[in-house]
Amino acid sequence: MLIKGVRRMQAERYDIIADVRCVLGEGPVWHPHEQALYWTDIELGRLWRWVEGCEAEVVYEGRKVGGFTVQADGSLLLFRDNGNVVVWQDGHESGTVIDQIPGHANERFNDVCADPMGRVYAGTVCGSGLMGRLIRLDVGGDWHEVLGGVACSNGMDLTLDQKMMYYTDSEMRTIWSYQYDQSHGGLHGRGVFVEVPEGEGVPDGLTVDKSGDVWSARWDGWGVYRYGPDGQMKEKVELPAAQVSSVCFGGQGYKDMFVTSAGGHLDDWAGVNAGAVFRVNTDAVGCEPNMSRICL
């Protein structure tokens, strides 16, 4: 469906930086210290790393990593299956923050997001029809359940003024907006930012750019959708992969948009470049990501 006033960005605006056929490529994060892009293939338990001019490489293989953050010291904080959180540095695990969050045995972390204070918001998903939740990990290592009854926790990010958080529940096909209290990390006052109609895919990972626009990856939607702060769609980036999963900005001046996808194990219906990681040239500039500051 062509929506009046919505710009469509065509194929010549992107290149493929890693045609690695991820089964479930997710959670791209730009590492400013290393000038490198990291992302996870959740189903295969792999963490990938890419630097301009080099081939992408697997730097971790083990338990499933649903999401991760860059710590202020340059290490990575891995949020894994069974509610497990570890520090990963110099090619190995250097400490455990949380062995397992009490809950369902098959609960695993999905998308995560650091705030300006160094806390981390981490969503969980469960199998067998059970509901997930959103937890907050404070800098001292204590955790708190912020939201419960989440069907499929996914992409989240803060507004430029740090007063609101966008939060995606994919199963509900909704990006919510919450009032965010930076002083103690609370969320309240839920509102609807975007509801995605049937037939336009499912909202997945997201990021906020320097102008305040929201870029939402669209699972089964063949691209990334751009929304203004008012929730109106402005643009669609069309990509040759059905299961577009997440998005971030990085590169010099945060002028490159990186997009992960899934379905590399599927037949052609998932797209000729299913499971690849794309770099998209847009007119947008990203924000430098917040770093976590979680202590052991």
- Annotated binding residues for a divalent metal cation, written as ranges, equal 26, 154, 204
d(CA 139, CA 84): 16
Amino acid identity of residue 220, one-letter, is D
Neighbouring C-beta atoms of residue 61, cutoff 10 Å = 11
Of 105, 84, 106, 103, nearest in space to 95 by CA: 84
Which residues are designated catalytic?
A: 204
Residue ranges for the known binding site are: 26, 108, 110, 154, 204
d(CA 221, CA 238): 9
Residue ranges for the known binding site for substrate are: 108, 110
The torsion defined by the Cα of 4, 209, 39 and 21, in degrees rounded to 10, comes to: 20
Amino acid identity of residue 45, one-letter, is G
79-107 per-residue burial string, b: 16 or more CB within 10 A, e: under 16: bbbbbbbbbbeeeeeeeebbeebebbeeb
